[in-house]
Structure 1
Amino acid sequence: MKRINLSDKVITALKSDIASGKLKKGTKIPSEPELMERYEVGRSTIREAIKTLAMSGILKVQQGSGTFVASKIKSETLAQRLRRADFEEINAVRSLLEIEIVRLACLNRTDKDISAMQDHLIQRKKAIETDQQQKCTDADIAFHVSIAKASKNKVLVDLYQNFTSVIRDFFTKRKEENMTYFARSHKWHEELALAIINRNQESAVQLIKTLLNNNY
Structure 2
Amino acid sequence: MKNQKLSDQVSAKIRQDILDGKYKAGEKIPAEPELMKVYEVGRSSIREAIKSLAMAGILKVRQGSGTFVNEVLPEENMAEKLRVADFDEINAVRKLLEEEIVRLAVENHTQAELEEIEKHLTLRKLAIIAEDRPACTNADIAFHLAIANASHNKVLASLYQNFTHTIRTFFSKREAQGIGHFAMSHHLHAELLHAIKTKRKKQAQELIRNILDHNY
Q: TM-score, normalised by structure 1?
A: 0.70
2:11 alignment counterpart:
none
Change (3 A) 1:121 1:74: same
Show CA shifts across 1:93-135 (max 9, x none): 1111010000000000000110001100110000000111111
2:198 alignment counterpart:
198
Show CA shifts across 1:9-39 (max 9, x none): xx5799xx96742x762249xxxxxxxxxxx
Amino acid at match of 1:26: V
Q: Which runs of 5+ in 2 are unaligned?
A: 1-20, 28-52
State the alpha-carbon separation in 1 of the partners of residues 163 and 111 from structure 2. 26
1:40 alignment counterpart:
none
Pair 1:172 & 2:172 matched: yes
1:181 alignment counterpart:
181
**Displacement, 1:177?**
1.4
**Displacement, 1:69?**
3.8
Identity %: 45
2:61 alignment counterpart:
26
Show CA shifts across 1:80-100 (max 9, x none): 220111111111111110100
Change (3 A) 1:12 1:182: farther
1:102 alignment counterpart:
102
1:38 alignment counterpart:
none
Amino acid at match of 1:93: V
1:70 alignment counterpart:
68
Q: Which runs of 5+ in 1 are unaligned?
A: 1-7, 29-59, 63-67
How many pairs are equivalent? 167
**Displacement, 1:70?**
3.3
Rg larger in 1 or in 2? Answer: 1
Matches within 5 A, 1:18-167: 20-21=56-57, 25-27=60-62, 69-70=67-68, 76-167=76-167
The 8 Å contact of residues 101 and 148 in structure 1, kept in 2 or not, is answered as yes
Q: Which runs of 4+ in 1 moved over 2 A?
A: 11-14, 17-21, 68-77
User: SS of the counterpart of 1:211?
Assistant: helix
The 8 Å contact of residues 137 and 168 in structure 1, kept in 2 or not, is answered as yes
Change (3 A) 1:70 1:120: same
User: SS of the counterpart of 1:70?
Assistant: strand
Amino acid at match of 2:186: H
Change (3 A) 1:90 1:18: farther
Amino acid at match of 1:128: I
The 8 Å contact of residues 19 and 74 in structure 1, kept in 2 or not, is answered as no
State the alpha-carbon separation in 1 of the partners of residues 89 and 26 from structure 2. 21
Superposed CA RMSD: 2.8
Amino acid at match of 2:86: D
State the alpha-carbon separation in 1 of the partners of residues 92 and 176 from structure 2. 25
Show CA shifts across 1:141-199 (max 9, x none): 00000000000000001100010000000000011214000000000000000000011
